[in-house]
Amino acid sequence: MSGFQRSIADDHGVRATLFSVNSRRRRRSRFVWPILIGVLAALLLLGLLVVRAWLLPRYNDKFGDAPLLGHLEIDRKVQAASFRIGQFVVAFVPDQGGQVVVTHQSEPQRRIWESVPGMSFVAATYGHEKVDESRGSFFFSDKATGSLCATQRLEQISEVAGTVQLSGTLRCTGAGSAPYKLVFAPLTQNQLGFELRIDDDDLNRVFLTFASAKDEKVFGFGEQFTHFDLKGRRVPIWVQEQGIGRGLQPITTAVDLVARSGGSWHTSYVSIPHFITSTQRSLMTENYEYQIFDLRTPDRIQVRVYSRTLKGRILYGRTPADLIREYTEYSGRMRPLPDWVHEGAIVGVQGGTERVLTLVDKLTKEGAPLSAVWLQDWVGQRKTSFGKQLWWNWQLDRARYPEWEAMQRKLQFQGARILTYVNPFFVDVSNLGRPGRNLFAEARDRGYLVREPNGQPYMIPNTDFSAGMLDVTNPEARKWWKDIIRTEVLATGASGWMADFGEALPYDAHMQADVAARAFHNQYPEEWAQLNREAIRESGREDELLFFTRSGYRKSPGQSTLFWLGDQLVTWDVYDGLKSAVVGMLSGGVSGFSLNHSDAGGYTTIVNSLSRVTRSRELLWRWLELSALSPVMRTHEGNRPDDNFQIDGDPETLRHFARCAKIYKAWAAYRKQLCVQAAETGMPVARHLALHYPTDPNVYALSFEEYLLGEDLLVAPITDPGVVTAKVYLPEGVWVHVFSGRSFAAPKTGLRIEVPAPPGQPALFYRQGSAMSEPLMRSLMEQRLL
């Protein structure tokens, strides 16, 4: 080797050595930097959580976080007794320290309600609550400022005029005592009413405690978005904004720090004091005040209500369907959807006349069946820090939608109706310079707005603006609102509207009616739905028109024509994303919300310097599939349309939307049958498997993974990214996979399978031999979906 060659070789060796050293350093840095970033992110999140815990109001009561429990003492003169009232038997059993038991004549050996042996079933105290609120989110802090009365003495049990009355005294901390009375009275053949009253002005919190088997599953409580089985949890009953994130971190903490609106797993627009259990027990309360159902103690449930009186009903039924029928006999049932809804998808679109017609043209060219376009920005659009919002002055913005009537005629020719948007708020538009009415000024001047304690209109913050809220207790305000619907909404040719909000009545608000807001807050969404129902009824077109609401309480199903699940994040998770929409739909169905659906694609989008949460193409595709197999298929562009992937984002997505809309239309005949059944029995269209297979222990582990449409269709939606097969649990029976034709025979113990579920082919099964199977398959073939 020459010297020159040796020099090159030596030089190459040095450089190779240097490259090797630098390479190791780079490899180490590739590992070190992610670790450092992860540690910094964890420290930042921990700091945010500490700050959040310090700044935000927390639920803090001096009753302690545990239930208020005490012992039962029995007066000597109280003996074993049994009283038949109607079809019910209320008995006192002195064994094991004493117990009250309720049975039904149809099943005398099965206890449908019972107290815990030897333990008090009545307790009371005096509390003083502090309630903070922010943009429809509420934070309760409760302090006991008086005695805790948890030792119960039962002094008398007797039958009086067809009722059973239990009375005695509560022994309180210190030397005091308070009288109580618990009265059971039959209301119907299968509904036993109860009323618990504490006759002491120094007490304003009443507790009722009853037994629950350790392995008993408990579900219901309205739209619970994260958990279907609530046993082991503490469930507050208060209608409010569900929040943004609802426990998904770091989003929830960030939103809390900025706007105190992150929410929690239990915050819900539809919070109902009603449940059903896996042992076919069911109970509801009739109070409107704030309540807490504490299900954390394994062998009991305790209800706390901010009142001296607790009223409710114990329901009897052999099956979940029986119990839902009984509950909805009280709450009211939803009427069937108008026939036109079943013709196809409802497309949410914003942006004005040209944008609407262009999108509908694209969809019709793909053969997508449409029933309506939903134009929430018909009143005009404003930009806020949250995204694109609306001018809450319920009149058509003809500058945004020129040639409205011509647009409507063209849409009608294409088979699409128009839906709009309203809510019970009003903003001052005096500075906009628009022609027409200023509804805020009208409502303010006529006294139609909810008031602050000082008598001024209560201006409720939303995002960057505040708004006045309609006083639904004012008869003149109600007439005025219905006139707005007639002259401003229906006069545009609309076939319906979203009736948004209803959950934000302030705790200290004043109204015309002599009722405290704390006792009316949960009733407001019922009245809001009723007001809109009156508007369509008085129009003479009730059967044709549709309005859909998000907030609700016990009697909302009897008033609203459709529900939707509110504002989910454009994410996949079970806190506030796609999965939570499935859980909310199934949970709400237990409490009478039989016709429900979600915004296909989700709604809440976050774009700022610290976070970017936007809708992906894949999420939209999978949410469209879920929506196609829901009672109503409706899309939403979200609060930041320009940042989200939309249904016309590319040609493949247009075709996918059209396919999903065809799937929705394909099961229209069966869906109509289920809507009639819902109106007659209260059974939801979308059902958790527990409603039909209550003795199958496997179904109680399911939440978002799968559900039934009626009895004969089973759906296992894809709710995770990158997944193209579905793992499915099949309950007893023979089930046929729609897109492959394969049959699966499930024994009594059920069957677990895995099937292909590529985009456009959701995991859908029908029960072999069901009457709906042949029409469904024929329709799918006619739509060229098989």
Beta bridge partners of 239: 268
Is 567 a catalytic site residue?
yes
Cβ density class 388-406: b for 16+ within 10 Å, e for less: bbbbbbbbbbeebbeebee
Crossing angle between the packed helical segments 475-484 and 439-446, to the nearest 10 degrees: 160
Which pair of tokens denotes residue 692?
A: 């039909």
User: Which of 200, 503, 573, 706 is labelled catalytic?
Assistant: 503
Residue 77, number of CB atoms within 10 A of its CB = 8
Which pair of tokens denotes residue 760?
A: 């456009």
Separation CA 258–CA 466 (nearest Å): 17
Which pair of tokens denotes residue 278?
A: 């896996």
C-alpha triplet 24, 29, 31: angle, nearest 5°: 100
Separation CA 195–CA 537 (nearest Å): 35
User: Which of 256, 500, 573, 625 is labelled catalytic?
Assistant: 500
Cβ partners under 8 Å of residue 170, min gap 6: 120, 122, 123, 124, 149, 150, 151, 152, 153, 177, 178, 179, 180, 198
C-alpha dihedral over 359, 365, 366, 367, to 10 degrees? 110
User: Which of 241, 397, 567, 576 is labelled catalytic?
Assistant: 567
Is 500 a catalytic site residue?
yes
Longest dimension (CA), the chain: 121
Cβ(449)–Cβ(480) below 8 Å: no
Cβ partners under 8 Å of residue 456, min gap 6: none
Cβ partners under 8 Å of residue 565, min gap 6: 223, 225, 550, 581, 584, 585, 588, 596, 597, 598, 599
Q: Could you say which DSSP state residue 654 is in?
A: H
Map 590-602 to HEC letters: HCCCCCEECCECC
C-alpha triplet 269, 379, 407: angle, nearest 5°: 115
Looking at the annotation, which residues are catalytic?
500, 503, 567
